Chains A and B, each alone.
Chain A
Amino acid sequence: MRAPLLASLLLAGCAGSPVADSAAPAGPTYVAVAEGVVCNHCVAGIDKTLRRDPAVTRVVIDMDKGLVRVSTRADRPFDAAKLRQALLDAGYGVVRAGRE
């Protein structure tokens, strides 16, 4: 009785991540210094939340320095304020955020 439910939840947990459109024209890169990025799930979570934005093509996070670097595409709007707000919504502190 419980086996189908367990199997369904297992399958639900195997959903894939969206793939960025690498053919899009490259836009600016933005960098933020974040606080509280101390674990792998912090990195994975920030990556997930930033990649929801269609302008974001790449996210690189350096745990040692708390650096969050975001590559964007030119044909979609993005700015440092969006990067800051995304990090705040994810629960992290933001020391500064700006265009690289």
Chain B
Amino acid sequence: MRLLLALLAAPAAAQLVPVPGASLFHADVGQDHGFVEVVTSAAPGTAVGVIAQEFSHGPGQPDLGGVTVVANRLAWRRNTAESQANLYLSAGLGALDLESAGRELGASAGFQLDWETRRLHAALIGHGLFGDRIAQGELMVHLGFAPWVASYEQVAPWILLEVSRTLGREADTEVAPMLVLMYQAYRLEVGVNGEGNPRAALRWLF
């Protein structure tokens, strides 16, 4: 159930590219999952894209996969000289390939409320998934800290802690520490998930 949620969760967890003329490439791989996302600006404040991904529960467990079309909207932003705060809304529609139970249509909805300076980052992310056999949600909190301020031409390290909570009958909380390295338009994340498995992600604004 948790992996099903993750299938359509990525739009809410990504930087959502409201900038005209820009696109985002996002890949995330781990021992039990992999996905590739390409989102491009459609109009000021709006981005659309496609996500392809698959997940494995491990030996003896059914694999999950899916292709989703997503739309993200910057609903609110507050800029200051030192900070930026955003509210993003997202919606998706996709075909979920459930290895043991066939394919079904799923819809998602999500939000991301975040605040960031050049040293601190905080985000509250929520999303829900709705289909014939599922209606569940998840809340995540991201807390990030940069040890020092780096310029665009330097590598900027961040320590990021992700706390996630599944809402529903299988409620549980997971804590995942990540090291984030930013360089120019690239953002590399390495770390472990709540079960101690390695994970890496790359985001590239192009």
Contacts and interface: CB of A to CB of B under 8 A. Distances in A.
Interface in B125-173: 151-152, 156
Nearest to B115: A38
B20 A90 contact: yes
A14 B187 CA distance: 15
A93 B62 CA distance: 48
A39 B77 CA distance: 15
B67 A5 contact: yes
B77 A41 contact: no
A76 interface: no
Given A5-B67, A6-B52, A9-B36, A40 B184 contact: yes
Contacts of B36: 6, 9-10, 13
B118 A39 contact: yes
Interface stretch (B3-11, B80-88, B189-197): B80-88
Contacts of B38: 9, 12-13
Interface in A41-93: 41-46, 48-49, 51-52, 61, 63-64, 66, 86, 89-93
B206 A91 contact: no
A86 B22 CA distance: 13
Interface string B41-77: 0001100001010100000000001010000001001
Q: How large is the interface on B (under 10, 10 to 19, 20 to 34, 35 or more residues)?
A: 35 or more
B100 interface: no
Contacts of B77: 36, 91
A13 B205 CA distance: 9
A25 to B, nearest CB: 24
A37 to B, nearest CB: 8
A56 to B, nearest CB: 11
A36 B204 CA distance: 20
CB-based closest 7 A-B pairs: A36-B79, A13-B25, A45-B19, A44-B185, A93-B79, A35-B79, A36-B84
Given A6-B36, A48-B22, 6 more contacts: A9-B25, A13-B25, A34-B79, A36-B80, A45-B205, A48-B19
